[in-house]
């Protein structure tokens, strides 16, 4: 956390917000200024949103900070996709939303505006700017401890918080195991083709091409009539975070 030039009140509030995030279930918490994310050129978000990114002022006119929260996906259950009424739900994100809402309520209780998960701000870029990890060749954020096995939530606010340093190190280096592991060759370094990725294909209005139906069923196995386990091959191939997923029932 970079405190130089910030008031004691801002530093205390930042400390309180981070403690609330961690005590409410987050494993990682970082802060960015809205200036840093708004400086990113507009780009297209293909996954679910299918829209261009927006600016923080589209959510809160006088926004100043974003609290970026990372939640460890320590078990495959976090990768379940559930079909309901023609849309896809991700149960793990519902849990994360409940936890992130506690940070939102803390800020609102102090008189600040707060918006949870502003979806048309780039969540991955905010995570990198907040110091949570580097952008990996599998197109996921990779943390030194948790690897690609964590998921993101965020809270935008008009509270002035102390921003963290961006994560500058490239954790991938020469490694390309995730690219080799993709069963449908959807990955190129730091990029994923949403029209080939079988996770990206899993939306009710999409028809799975017949030539990859067997691969789809193998890597996106059905658990119940309405649920599938999402493909994780590129995550499993990553050397980071494996030890943190080693817990088992005794």
Mean pLDDT of 140-155: 98
Check whether 49 has a pLDDT greater than 80: no
Measured CA to CA, the distance from residue 18 to residue 99 in angstroms comes to 13
Indicate the pLDDT class of residue 164, thresholds 50, 70 and 90: very high
pLDDT of residue 194: 85
pLDDT of residue 152: 97
Check whether 138 has a pLDDT greater than 90: yes
Check whether 199 has a pLDDT greater than 80: yes
- Which residues contact residue 69 at a Cβ distance below 8 angstroms, ignoring those fewer than 6 apart? 21, 26, 28, 29, 96, 99, 100, 103, 152, 153, 154, 155
pLDDT of residue 180: 98
DSSP character at residue 27: S
| pLDDT tens-place string over residues 77-110 | 999 999 988 888 999 999 899 999 999 999 999 9
What is the overall mean pLDDT for the chain? 92
- Which residues contact residue 71 at a Cβ distance below 8 angstroms, ignoring those fewer than 6 apart? 25, 26, 27, 28, 92, 95, 96, 99, 150, 151, 152, 153
Give the H/E segment covering residue 140: none
Point out the least confidently predicted range of 35-49, 120-134, 195-209, 234-248: 195-209
pLDDT of residue 205: 59
Mean pLDDT of 181-206: 87
pLDDT of residue 50: 75
pLDDT of residue 88: 87
pLDDT of residue 4: 59
Mean pLDDT of 146-175: 98
Check whether 1 has a pLDDT greater than 90: no
Contact 116, 105 (CB under 8 A): no
pLDDT of residue 6: 79
pLDDT of residue 195: 84
pLDDT of residue 112: 98
Indicate the pLDDT class of residue 202, thresholds 50, 70 and 90: confident
Check whether 70 has a pLDDT greater than 60: yes
Mean pLDDT of 187-201: 91
pLDDT of residue 250: 58
Start-to-end C-alpha separation, the chain: 39
The whole-model pTM stands at 0.93
């Amino acid at each position: 956390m970079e405190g130089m030039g910030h008031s004691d009140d801002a530093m205390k509030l930042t400390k309180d917000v981070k403690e609330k995030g961690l005590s409410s279930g987050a494993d990682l918490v970082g802060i960015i200024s809205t200036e840093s994310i708004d400086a990113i050129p507009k780009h297209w978000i293909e996954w679910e949103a299918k829209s261009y990114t927006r600016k923080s002022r589209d959510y809160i006119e006088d926004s100043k900070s974003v609290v970026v929260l990372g939640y460890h996906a320590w078990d495959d259950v976090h990768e379940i996709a559930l079909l309901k009424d023609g849309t896809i739900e991700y149960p793990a994100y519902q849990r994360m939303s409940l936890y992130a809402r506690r940070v939102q309520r803390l800020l609102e209780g102090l008189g600040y505006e707060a918006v949870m998960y502003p979806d048309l701000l780039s969540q991955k870029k905010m995570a990198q700017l907040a110091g949570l990890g580097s952008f990996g060749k599998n197109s996921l954020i990779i943390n030194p401890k948790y690897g690609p096995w964590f998921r993101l939530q965020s809270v935008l606010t008009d509270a002035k918080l102390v921003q963290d340093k961006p994560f500058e190190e490239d954790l991938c280096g020469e490694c390309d195991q995730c690219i080799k592991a993709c069963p449908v060759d959807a990955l190129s370094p730091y990029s994923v083709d949403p029209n080939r990725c079988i996770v990206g294909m899993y939306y009710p209005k999409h028809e799975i091409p017949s030539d990859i139906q067997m691969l789809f069923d193998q890597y996106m196995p059905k658990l119940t009539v309405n649920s599938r386990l999402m493909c994780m091959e590129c995550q499993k191939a990553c050397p980071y975070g494996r030890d943190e997923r080693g817990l088992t029932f005794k």
